[in-house]
Structure 1
Amino acid sequence: MSGQISESKINEVRERTDIVELVSQYVDLKRSGANHMGLCPFHSEKSPSFSVHAGRQFYHCFGCGVGGDAFSFLQQIEGLTFPDAVRRLAERAGIELEERQLSPEEEQRQKHREQLFRVNELAAEYFHRLLMEEPAGEPCRQYLKRRGYGRKAAGEYQIGYATDVWEGLTTYLKEQGANLEDARTLGLIRESKQGRNDYDLFRGRLMFPIFDLQGRPVAFGGRVLDDSKPKYINSPESPIYHKGRVLFGLYQARQSMRQSGEVILVEGYFDQLALHRAGFQQVVATCGTALTAEHARMLKRYVQKAILLFDQDEAGKQATFKAMTALQDEGVPALVIELPKGDDPDSFVQTQGPDAFRQRLEQARPVMDLFMEDALQNAGAGVEQKVRAAESVIERIAELSSSMEQDLYLKELAGRSGIELELLKQKMVELQTRPKAAPERNDYLSEAPPQPYDYPPPEMSYGAPMPEARSVQPTAPEKIWSRAEEQALCLLLHNPDARSRIAAEGVETYFSAARAQQLAEQLLEELTADGAAPEAVVSKLAAELIPQVGPLAHKDPAEFAGDAELMLQQCRDSLVRELKRKEREEMLNQISQAEKSGQAVPEDLMDRFKKLK
């Protein structure tokens, strides 16, 4: 269907769905008073803590904390987007959906995305058939056999093979009637420099399809079967693939991640496959890219902690520290597994076995410990070098959300460095009150919107008039919302259930800045008035807001599909932390000013500061 479902139809489907009956298809429920209880399908447990309330049409697990309505349950259990969950339940209830007609531009963009997905599906089928059935795939089958993998792993991950024929895939796509321009956009084929014929980009390689959360192939990674270079080539970014938003194996691992409450993060395809084969199902791979804030935000929906297992070299160590920062910003504790020098997950499991790896997993320690140890060991002998090392550790400690963790790590740093604890505390206060520079790491709140398809090009300016050309670079518009508020705005724009909750609870619950509250009110009014699409609503905003809100409106709604209550609670928790941090910084500034001027710090200020921590 090429349209958007109206709020009235969503409510009708919700009212006509019996959540007890729905959940009973997946969970053995038994009545317990007004509720029905069973074993939670989202985490491993022996005693029932999963409750379904028939009257409120709501479910909640007292063990892992998940909860929501029929839509969110189906999304979580089946990995569906919100619209697909609505359609599935509507069909089940015998309700015919009337979907809002998309604008020609929206329909064209949606049609183009569907075409791109179809081309990738054709390519995945082609590669997989070559590996599994064709004589040409025998070298690749032997390669996999030498590494200990058979048809089961190849089938589960839809692994394939690209022969060394220059136009094999190109010819197949032509036969299937695919648009070759779409194949070029996806990086599957390339036009020759002479401009005569297209040729395959992937040749003579083992092919790993990379799936999104709906199980659709969005990209490929190809590995040579020998030692030639480059060992790997990967799909370029495209309208349906952004490497900072996708993790290899997440589609296969998501249920195990929910049940275990943890994820093991590795770097390569074979690292993920090796651990999966050894019985560790909660494993995903970054595939050569640094873990981004969006990765961390996505993982937070599934797990309570992340265990990092990157390469043991210096580059791998730095990747571990960067991942810690991204996860820490999202409130996800990061631990690290250390393997013997020269080992990777694949080689370790093959030589030592699953039990040895399980023991290493149980011995995982906080990444902060490794960071502190590494910083102090490599500090050098000079006093200035030791001070810089201690400051780098304090910067990371200051980012922790728990004051108790901060206190414990500062004491540990004092013991290891020989620096007085009070001096370390003073330095942390100084760092906390210092204006923060813009983050250098990749973060979806600060990165430029991917071009050219996910968002309109800059010259379209989301309906705002184009400024005249100038010789100076324009300054970026000042944000009127925090990171937590921006996430809430995205949910408001793309998740109808979240929109309803924000409207019911009041915008002040999720937005603290007055201008952000006004914007949220306006968006709510416009979106609920006649079921307008987010993109259409943006053009009605004030001109200075359009460049800021436009990219949010054009994000993929699938990113924000899921348990609205849980995601909004995370926004609220993050907002509270941000407000407390700002209040603490203001108090620290007042305390610092008083001390500099030689005045006594007011007791009530010190009392409020201590209570706030």
Structure 2
Amino acid sequence: MRIPEQTITEITEKLDIVDIVADYVPLTRKGNRYWGLCPFHTEKTPSFSVTPEKNIYYCFGCHKGGGALSFIMEMEKLPFVEAIKLAAKRAGVEIQLEEEREGSLKRDAYCELYKRVAGSMNHILLHSDQASQARKYLQSRKLSEEIIGMFDLGYAPAEREWLFNFLEKKNYSPDFLSKTGLFSKGKGSYFSNRIMFPISTAQDEVIAFGGRALVEGGPKYLNSPETAFFRKRNSLFAINLALPAIKKEGSVYLVEGYMDVIAMHAAGIANCVAPLGTAFTREQAAFLKRYAEKAVLFFDTDEAGIKATLRTIEILETALFQVEVVSQESQDGQQTTNGPCKDPGGSPIASHTGTDSPGKPLKDPAEIFEKDG
């Protein structure tokens, strides 16, 4: 038996992260955030924050972060399914279980595994000597600790069998692991020596990864292979973080890649997502149409980017979106050829202007990230 996807969506949409966290942590509002002493480590000065607009929590001390459901899982030490059941009671949603195909991979076990792997890779990134090159790269891109924590970025070590051996010691069976998409051959990890970007559902379940190579010799970006619970055509990077803002604004920014999304969120534009290194799909459009009427495209303006823009416009207009395309100009008024995080010659990077709400075309660029090298 399994919990239907639409029920999980209904539950998570009704959760108020401030109310949930306040049951465990006394919070004080300062500006657009709430602050308190972190429940995950001992401290005397509050470094634990809750941002209701983004529906996330983050600790600047221990770097734990996530959404309302992940907070419940952490505080109550519950697996995903049990946390959903507890959240359902709080949200007043009745759960009707449905049959699960015999012999199929269990979704709760799969999601729990990916959550643990993401946490382990984040710990390696922040604390291991073997991730020093990855940390230097992220520092060169001017990523703050808050942004790294918000996106739960991680590092996959170069040694390919470390993850299989680690999980086998945690009593995961070889048969189960072979179906998860984490391994390419035998014990060999699918990702090696890469900065890792967890890919989550709108319900904040980690279901896949994207990885950026740190050395030449292979694809710069690599996504998880498709599994029983991960389909690229249905998934959007950062939808778990962006959905509250998409609902609030009634609009969504679409950019090309992981670092583009991170650049936009760092600039204060939280209603931003990206397809996973492939063309934007009708399935992605149909999902976004449930929450937004307008889509703003911010793709590269090279030949490939223009083609992607035209394809995406066609799909969005078919789905009855109001479509806008960002005009990318540098300070001297010349047309640029790159998206929000790419800077070919020190020219400013696009960011949101002034105090207007996110969701309007970007103007007056301000430097955020250097060129993706």
What SS class does the counterpart of residue 344 from structure 1 fall into? coil
Residue aligning to 2:26: none
Residue aligning to 2:178: 184
1:502-541 equivalent positions in 2, closer than 5 A: none
Contact 2:342 2:349 in 1 (8 A): no
What SS class does the counterpart of residue 341 from structure 2 fall into? helix
User: Equivalents in 1 of 2:128, 2:305: separation in Å?
Assistant: 38
2:281 equivalent to 1:330:
no
User: Equivalents in 2 of 1:107, 1:301: separation in Å?
Assistant: 32
1:329, distance to aligned residue in structure 2 (A): 1.7
Residue aligning to 2:239: 250
Please identify which structure carries the higher strand content: 2
2:348 aligned residue (334, 341, 352): 352
Residues 99-133 of structure 1 deviation map (CA, whole Å, 9 limit, x = unaligned)? 66x65x54654x62222223222321221111012
Contact 1:264 1:283 in 2 (8 A): yes
1:166, distance to aligned residue in structure 2 (A): 2.0
Aligned length: 287
1:235, distance to aligned residue in structure 2 (A): 0.5
Contact 1:263 1:283 in 2 (8 A): yes
1:464-483 equivalent positions in 2, closer than 5 A: none
The one-letter amino acid of 2:182's match is: L
2:126 equivalent to 1:137:
no
The one-letter amino acid of 1:185's match is: K
1:320 aligned residue (279, 294, 309): 309
What SS class does the counterpart of residue 316 from structure 1 fall into? helix
Residue aligning to 2:147: 153
The one-letter amino acid of 2:221's match is: Y
What SS class does the counterpart of residue 325 from structure 1 fall into? helix
The one-letter amino acid of 1:112's match is: K
Residue aligning to 2:115: 121
2:205 equivalent to 1:219:
no
| TM-score, structure 2 as length reference | 0.67
User: Equivalents in 2 of 1:325, 1:230: separation in Å?
Assistant: 29
User: Equivalents in 2 of 1:84, 1:306: separation in Å?
Assistant: 33
What SS class does the counterpart of residue 254 from structure 2 fall into? strand
Q: 1:3 to 1:148 in 2, by over 3 A?
A: closer
The one-letter amino acid of 1:178's match is: Y
1:263-282 equivalent positions in 2, closer than 5 A: 263-282=252-271
Q: Which 5+ residue runs of structure 2 have no aligned equivalent?
A: 5-13, 21-66, 71-79, 329-334, 363-373
The one-letter amino acid of 1:136's match is: Q
The one-letter amino acid of 1:170's match is: F
1:262-411 equivalent positions in 2, closer than 5 A: 262-339=251-328, 340-347=335-342, 351-352=347-348, 362=360
The one-letter amino acid of 1:181's match is: D
Q: 1:351 to 1:184 in 2, by over 3 A?
A: farther
| TM-score, structure 1 as length reference | 0.42
The one-letter amino acid of 1:314's match is: E
Residue aligning to 1:202: 191
1:561-572 equivalent positions in 2, closer than 5 A: none
Q: Which 5+ residue runs of structure 1 have no aligned equivalent?
A: 6-18, 27-76, 192-196, 365-613
Contact 1:261 1:302 in 2 (8 A): yes
Contact 1:279 1:354 in 2 (8 A): no
Q: 1:246 to 1:268 in 2, by over 3 A?
A: same
The one-letter amino acid of 1:322's match is: R
Q: 1:4 to 1:218 in 2, by over 3 A?
A: closer
User: Equivalents in 2 of 1:85, 1:125: separation in Å?
Assistant: 20
The one-letter amino acid of 1:169's match is: L
Q: 1:4 to 1:163 in 2, by over 3 A?
A: closer
Contact 1:158 1:208 in 2 (8 A): yes
Q: 1:89 to 1:176 in 2, by over 3 A?
A: closer
1:152, distance to aligned residue in structure 2 (A): 1.4
User: Equivalents in 2 of 1:288, 1:98: separation in Å?
Assistant: 35
1:298, distance to aligned residue in structure 2 (A): 0.8
Contact 2:194 2:214 in 1 (8 A): yes
Contact 1:214 1:251 in 2 (8 A): yes
Residues 567-613 of structure 1 deviation map (CA, whole Å, 9 limit, x = unaligned)? xxxxxxxxxxxxxxxxxxxxxxxxxxxxxxxxxxxxxxxxxxxxxxx
Q: 1:357 to 1:204 in 2, by over 3 A?
A: farther
Q: 1:25 to 1:201 in 2, by over 3 A?
A: closer
What SS class does the counterpart of residue 208 from structure 1 fall into? strand
User: Equivalents in 2 of 1:158, 1:148: separation in Å?
Assistant: 16
Please identify which structure carries the higher helix content: 1
Q: 1:266 to 1:357 in 2, by over 3 A?
A: farther
User: Equivalents in 1 of 2:2, 2:158: separation in Å?
Assistant: 42
Q: Which gives a bigger RCO, structure 1 or 2 (Cα 8 Å, sep 6+)?
A: 2
Contact 2:88 2:95 in 1 (8 A): no
Residues 70-93 of structure 1 deviation map (CA, whole Å, 9 limit, x = unaligned)? xxxxxxx96899x98886454677
